[in-house]
Amino acid sequence: MAVLSVDTSAAVAVAVVSETGERLAARSVDERRRHAESLAPLVTAVLADAGTDRTALTAVVAGTGPAPFTGLRAGLVTARTLALALGVPVLGVPSLDALAVQAVADLGLAPDDEVLVAADARRKEVYWARYRVVSHESTHGVPVVRAVAGPDVAKAAQVAERLEDRPAAGRLAVVGEGASLYADVLGLDEDAPLLPDPVVLARVALQRRDAGHELPAEPLYLRRPDVHEPAGGPRVVPATGAVAG
């Protein structure tokens, strides 16, 4: 029995883990424009690497962002479709949450320390959230973090201004690809994780599922898609069939 994990909030990242959270296989490609085309072959390759058939999957985990519309949608649609076909649940976890959990382990954070996670939102903005470390004790070897601000989207300078009001209690680590792009404003911890790890994403999902949390697979877009139908488009006049502006 195994769990497939998919994240398309930035690069395309896929992993297979056991029901206990053991890493069986993982792959990623730094593809930011062709998520849909890259994802299916990557899923097939990772299942083969793990020696697992898709019929052995007991759940599909999906990173829910926040992220730009097109890339995030590709991952969520794939996860939902596969889960529906197999008759297994799809478990949604915010991609920023996974990065925060990664940071606890990678940077040796302690309870009451905090993590600022910033992802690239394009348009010279970042998707961000700030977390407090609650505990290192949980199932599947996953630290427990709690969001204390965000998620939201803003200019890096605006996020930095909000940090000035943060109570001075414990260490603040800054991680994520968005922080690396605007390190002069936000700072960036040495050895900070930059992109969500699909293995960690799966472990967070399993820990939260076992704790009885709801894990909706709804996308966190935080803003309207770049392409949408213009308001006040043409309409058809029934009497003549002519198009009126």
Per-residue pLDDT of the chain (245 residues; tens, 9 = 90+): 999 999 999 999 999 999 999 999 999 998 777 777 889 999 999 999 999 999 999 999 999 999 989 889 999 999 999 999 999 999 999 999 999 999 999 999 999 999 999 999 999 999 999 999 999 877 788 999 999 999 999 999 999 999 988 877 789 999 999 999 999 999 999 999 999 999 999 999 999 999 999 999 999 999 765 544 554 544 444 444 443 33
Label the pairing between strands 57-63 and 2-7: parallel
> Would you say how long the chain is, in residues?
245
Query: Domains along the chain?
Result: 2-94+197-210 (3.30.420.40), 95-186 (3.30.420.40)
pLDDT of residue 241: 43
Contact predicate 13/44, CB 8 Å: no
Per-residue pLDDT at 244 = 39
How high is the pLDDT of residue 59?
Answer: 98
* Whole-number Å distance between alpha carbons of 219 and 91: 12
Q: What are phi and psi of 127, to 5 degrees?
A: -85, 135
pLDDT of residue 37: 85
Asked if residues 77 and 22 have their Cβ atoms less than 8 Å apart, the reply is: no
pTM greater than the 0.85 cutoff: yes
- pLDDT at position 141 is 80
Cβ partners under 8 Å of residue 65, min gap 6? 9, 72, 94, 95, 96, 127, 219, 220, 221, 222
pLDDT value for 165 = 80
> What does pLDDT average to over the chain?
90
